[in-house]
Amino acid sequence: MSIERYSVIDQKNPREIVLLKSRKCQWGICSFCDYIHDNSDDETEIVKLNQSVLSQVTGKFGSLEVINSGSCFELPEETLRDIRQIVEVKQIRQLYFESHYMYRKELEVFRAQFDVPVVFKCGIETFDDAFRNKVLKKGVQFNSPEEVAAYFSSICLMVGIKGQTKEMIERDMKILMDYFEHGCINIYQNNTTEIVADENLIQWFKESYAHLEANQNIEILWNNTDFGVGGVVNEQ
């Protein structure tokens, strides 16, 4: 694997970001995701690598985003202790984690482990239920955007997949702006899965929605490594 695990985001919402290893994703069947191959059953290995990554955190912005190939709930307890120590020593004032929607009722218990504000990001990918669950196999069921917003103030959406339509994306962008405080839009790139990018749809999105880059609450990842972390993941 060729993966960068630490970076600094110094444009919108300045923060440090770390990509940690975790135990196996408890959902683990999203059709578009190959980052699950970064997971491990060896907790000793996970903790040791994560300690090395976390040692790079300086606290320069007082803000830290922690991501992993799954949900924050799959990080080992020892790694969570290490994060709490980093928060204290480096005077981190804001934390960001990612979580699958299935953990929504456990967020407050997780948040209580830290003495600083925590924002949870959730990969919804699209509000088209059939595409989200039948094609992308997200396993995320809800009745309305308000239901999602009751748990998550920040969501991730995906754009540019074969089978998506302009109408689906237009609806997703409207829901993002109407119901959520923050959003990250991921432009899909081909990887080791069978899900394929739609270059024409991506070009249309660039022409129609590049103006969202001016919105301080919206981040667009034109490439999946734009945050400076991630890379090529090979199945072992």
Taking the domains of the chain in order of start, what are their residue ranges? 2-232
- Spatial separation of the C-alpha atoms in residues 201 and 226, rounded to whole Å: 20
User: Are β-strands 6-9 and 15-20 bridged in parallel, bridged antiparallel, or unpaired?
Assistant: antiparallel
Share of the chain above pLDDT 70, in %: 97
- Please give the pLDDT value at position 36: 74
Q: 139 pLDDT exceeds 90?
A: yes
Confidence band (pLDDT; 50, 70, 90) for 158? very high
Looking at residue 234, what is its pLDDT? 54
Contact present, 146 and 117 (Cβ < 8 Å): no
φ and ψ of 221, to 5 deg: -100, 95
CA 74 to CA 68: how far, in whole Å? 9
Does position 1 have pLDDT exceeding 80, yes or no?
no
C-alpha distances out from residue 77 to 27, 80, 82, 137, 143, Å: 19, 5, 9, 28, 33
User: What's the pLDDT score for residue 198?
Assistant: 98
Crossing angle of helices 166-179 and 199-209, rounded to 10°: 40
Question: How high is the pLDDT of residue 235?
Answer: 46
Taking residues 109-115, what's their average pLDDT?
A: 97
The confidence score (pLDDT) of residue 126 equals: 98
| pLDDT exceeds cutoff 70 at 157 | yes
pLDDT average, residue stretch 40-53: 95
Q: Which of 101, 114, 100, 126 is nearest to 183 (CA)?
A: 126
> Residue 34's pLDDT is what?
84
> CB-based contacts of 104: which residues, under 8 Å, 6+ apart?
122, 151, 152
Q: Coil, strand, or helix at residue 155? A: strand
How many Å apart are CA 20 and CA 79, to the nearest integer? 9
Predicted local distance difference test score (pLDDT) of residue 233:
56
Average pLDDT over residues 126-146: 98
pLDDT at 236: 39
Phi, psi dihedral angles at 76 (to 5 degrees): -60, 150
Q: What is the pTM of this model?
A: 0.94
Q: Quick check: 220 and 187 in contact, CB under 8 A?
A: yes
CB 156 within 8 A of CB 180: no
Tokens of 129: 């239920």
The overall average pLDDT reported for the chain is 95
| The one-letter amino acid at 90 | K
Q: Distance between terminal CA atoms of the chain?
A: 9
| pLDDT 10s digits, 171-191 | 999 999 999 999 999 999 999
Architecture of domain 2-232: Alpha-Beta Barrel (3.20)
Mean pLDDT score, 153-176: 98
**Sign of the four-CA dihedral 177, 127, 132, 190:** negative
CB 32 within 8 A of CB 158: yes
53-68 pLDDT, tens digit per residue, is 999 999 999 999 999 9
